[in-house]
Amino acid sequence: MNRRDVIQKVILGSTVLIVVPSVLSNCSKDPLSNAGTETLPGAGSGKITIDLSLADNSALNNTGGTKITQGIIVANTGSNNFVALASACTHEGSTIGYSSDETAFICPNHGSKFSSSGSVLLGPATTALKAYPISKSGTILTISL
């Protein structure tokens, strides 16, 4: 092995050590915010609560308002109705949003649309989003997992 081959291998190895970890960390899903939410006491309680009186959750007080918490998008669909669905598109995992104009959950990457029950309205997604039961008591929303 000559000097040039050694230098090329050292440079290539160094580049791999620098580039690969940063690429892998950039490909991971963004951590989802859970500010203003809490899990009810007791491990594995299977519930998430959202207090609508907290500033972090104020968007949910308006029709079309949404909040993503613990991988679930919660939307105010109007008339004091709320929907809770898995927030990752079943096509490629992008975070979906809610369009009150279309009354649908839409993936910004490829345009998949989902109903408020999670069923696919328009592809390329072919699998429904998981829907979670949600109830409201006073200013507290409770999502059953």
User: 67-102: buried (b, 16+ CB within 10 Å) or exposed (e) per residue?
Assistant: bbbeebbbbbbeeeebbbbbbbbbbeeebbebeeee
For residue 40, give the DSSP letter.
P
For residues 69 and 33, the answer to whether their CB atoms sit within 8 Å is yes
Q: Select the more confidently predicted residue: 12 or 20.
A: 12
- Averaged pLDDT for residues 48-77: 94
Confidence of residue 62 (pLDDT cuts 50, 70, 90): very high
Task: Write down the domain spans for the chain.
Answer: 1-28, 37-144
Q: Is the pLDDT of residue 25 over 70?
A: no
For the cut 70, the answer to whether the pLDDT of residue 145 exceeds it is: yes
The percentage of residues in the chain with a pLDDT greater than 70, rounded to a whole number, is 74
The CATH class of the 37-144 domain is mainly beta
